Amino acid sequence: MQQKINIKHVLPVMFGFFVMGFVDVVGIASNYIKQDFQLNDTVANLVLMMLYVWFVLFSIPTGMLMGRIGRRKTVLLSIVITSLALFVPIVSYNFITVLLALSLLGIGNAMLQVSLNPLVGDVVPDSKLASSLTFGQFVKSISSFLGPVLAGGAALYLGNWRYLFPIFGGISVLAAIWLNSVHFKETSHSGQKGSFMGSLRLLGDPVILGFFIGILLVVGIDVGLNVSIPKYLMFRGNLQLAEAGLGISLYFAAKTAGAFLGAILLAHISASKFYTVTVVLSILSLAFTLLTPTIAGVYIGIFLLGLTVSNIFSLIFFKALLHKPGFRNEISGLMMMGVIGGAFISLAMGIVSDHFGLIAGMMVLGVCMLYLLGNSMVKNKSKSQES
């Protein structure tokens, strides 16, 4: 492990987090895709499964691939796949190529999320690892924030929202070239030899099963909000999609602020208590967003939702690792597979919306939050609770 930080090594690795955030463009993109191909909510949200299903198939195999070719090469491969995904809609734009692009984007992002975090540990000392990973999430949040802004700007000023793709695709190519230009020593990673069955067997532990379901639901909440915010703003404020899409940027801006606020509060509050308080506040924020009579109130609610849900994923992930420290590799792979919840929850929201209306569809998120509240309370009583 390197004892000093080499900024020439750190910067291209950190820029990988910016590429990681490109996956969040799927929220605004799904709204444009629905509009372009005249899809109903069920089909539009089903399209998202082409992105998130790959997390189930590629999380553990990516860990194995890192053991063969190294972390840096695995990250490079994931960025190249992401680049290909982003250029597909420019070369050809029809329903089939959209499915292909989302599949490639899902594969690339699954590989990137599994391999990039360990790579950070190769360019910073252990004493700086936690802060470096936090900064990486901040970089990712900036990318997520910019996606809807660029899509709306491209639609309003360039005449087509799809000009977003070559911009992100070009940035991905530059990220790959930059990372490929630096070379550094990677630490041994021989201990991570997970398997699907080895990870799945951990679901026999009720606590791990509860946290796995929690990951499924919190990712579903995030994706569900990402997809439904523009629809809800158009419904409540009679806005055009390009304008309503900026609501997602407000949401991601709030998530960025929430991540930093959470880091400060966790220095004084235990993770268990913070988990419960955060979920309670997210439930109240959703209720406010759905019940407020004004469009200004809706924007306030969106900001509060971003602020309150921003730390739930990391809290669940942290507490799952704490429960069985000797199985951290297997638990990490299992939790990453839980990202498939982004597809299932958004699909459920689409089905409910088509049959009972948009408000009912968004109430699916409230059901997910209620489970997280119960999960947080049960874990608070666990003997493995952290101080």
Query: What topology does CATH give the domain 1-193?
Result: Growth Hormone; Chain: A; (1.20.1250)
Q: What's the DSSP call for residue 92?
A: -
Judge whether residue 385 has pLDDT over 50: no
| 194-387: CATH architecture | Up-down Bundle (1.20)
Both tokens of residue 100? 């292909």
Average pLDDT over residues 5-28: 87
Q: What is the CA radius of gyration of the chain?
A: 20
Confidence (pLDDT) at 356: 92
Q: Which of 202, 298, 216 is nearest to 251 (CA)?
A: 298
What is residue 387's predicted lDDT score, i.e. its pLDDT? 43
For residue 256, pLDDT beyond 80: yes
In sequence order, which residues have a C-beta less than 8 Å from that of residue 219 and are 6 or more positions away? 52, 313, 338, 339, 340, 341, 342, 345
Asked whether the domain spanning 194-387 has the same topology as the one spanning 1-193, the reply is yes
What are the C-alpha distances in Å from 34 to residues 46, 94, 158, 238?
Answer: 11, 12, 20, 18
Please check the confidence at residue 5 and state whether its pLDDT lies above 50. Answer: yes
Kindly indicate the confidence band of residue 339, based on its pLDDT and cuts at 50, 70 and 90.
confident
The reported pLDDT for the residue numbered 380 is 39
pLDDT digits (tens, 9 = 90+) for 155-192: 888 888 888 889 999 999 999 999 999 988 776 544 44
DSSP 8-state code for residue 386: -
Highest mean pLDDT among 10-24, 226-240, 358-372: 358-372
> Taking 90 as the threshold, does the pLDDT of residue 238 lie above it?
no
- Specify whether the CB–CB gap between 200 and 335 falls below 8 A: no
For a pLDDT cut of 90, what percent of the chain falls above it? 33
Is the pLDDT assigned to residue 112 strictly greater than 60?
Answer: yes
Give the model's pLDDT for residue 3: 52
Q: What is the mean predicted confidence (pLDDT) over 254-269?
A: 80
Q: Is the confidence at residue 341, as pLDDT, over 90?
A: no
Is the pLDDT at 129 greater than 80? The verdict is no
Question: Could you tell me the pLDDT band of residue 381, with boundaries at 50, 70 and 90?
Answer: very low
Other CB atoms within 10 A of residue 211 CB: 26
Q: What pLDDT, on the 0 to 100 scale, is given for residue 12? A: 95
**Contacts of 291 by beta carbon, 8 Å cutoff, 6+ apart:** none
Kindly report, residue by residue over 289-313, the tens digit of the pLDDT.
999 999 999 999 999 999 999 888 8
Sequence ranges of the domains in the chain: 1-193, 194-387
Q: What is the mean pLDDT of the chain?
A: 83
Q: What is residue 382's predicted lDDT score, i.e. its pLDDT?
A: 41
Q: Is the pLDDT of residue 384 over 50?
A: no
Reported as a single tens digit per residue, the pLDDT across 135-151 is 777 788 888 878 878 88
Count Cβ atoms within 10 A of the Cβ of residue 4 and give its class: 0-12 exposed, 13-18 middle, 19 or more buried.
exposed
Average pLDDT over residues 57-63: 81
Within 70-125, where are the H helices? 71-91, 95-120
Q: Which of the pair, 328 or 152, is modelled with greater confidence?
A: 152
pLDDT of 274 above 50: yes
Given a cut of 50, whether residue 36 has pLDDT beyond it is yes
Q: Enter the pTM of the model.
A: 0.73
pLDDT tens, residue by residue, 210-221: 999 999 999 999
Give the mean model confidence (pLDDT) for residues 83-111: 91
* Residue matched to tokens 């439930």: 283
Tell me: pLDDT of 130 over 70. no
Phi/psi for 192 (5° steps) reads -95, 90
Q: What's the average model confidence in pLDDT over 120-134?
A: 69
Please, what is the angle between helix 164-180 and helix 71-91, to 10°? 160
